[in-house]
Copies of this chain bind each other. A is one copy, B any other.
Amino acid sequence: MAGSVNKVILVGNLGRDPEIRTLNSGERVANLSLATSETWRDKASGERKEKTEWHRVVIFNDNIVKVCENYLKKGSTVYVEGQLQTRKWTDQQGVEKYSTEVVIQKFKGELTMLGGRGDGGGMSRGGGDDDYSSGFSTGGANKPSGPRESYDLNDDIPF
């Protein structure tokens, strides 16, 4: 295929605390229940209405799992960037079901804390790590070394 893009961008609030589990492989996974809402005024009745959409976010990136564990809770506002993925599973009655999730892979996607009620006050990020971050953002990288401040090309002119 000549290239494709699968990207989801959400800003919303957690409906409950993150759930973190350990797979048989030892790998940790975080699950978030994230709400986005729209409000509008109904043209006919003049009433204000609201509709909330709930998103299931699944995180396989361990740096981001740690942020979920240490900083997020019910009510936290987050920016999430991931991929749409539909998973098939079978319930206890043997019925096939589908679940569509926003997945933050090990090497793809981001999560950035944006504050909100759930934040326990402090914004300090905890020390001792060598992560690259955009504020409380986490993701994308492996062992980055910071943004580029300048580079030595002197024949660059705006075009």
A5 to B36, CA, bound (A): 7
Cβ B136 vs Cβ A42 within 8 A: no
Which residues of chain A (108-156) have a CB below 8 Å from chain B?
108, 112-116, 123, 129-137, 140-154, 156
Copies held by the complex? 4
Residues of chain B within 8 A of A8, CB atoms compared: 7-9, 84
- Whether the Cβ atoms of A1 and B132 lie closer than 8 Å is no
Binding site for B on A (CB under 8 A): 1-13, 21, 23-24, 29, 33, 35-43, 49, 51-56, 60, 77, 79, 83-87, 89, 91, 95, 97-100, 102-103, 105-108, 112-116, 123, 129-137, 140-154, 156-159
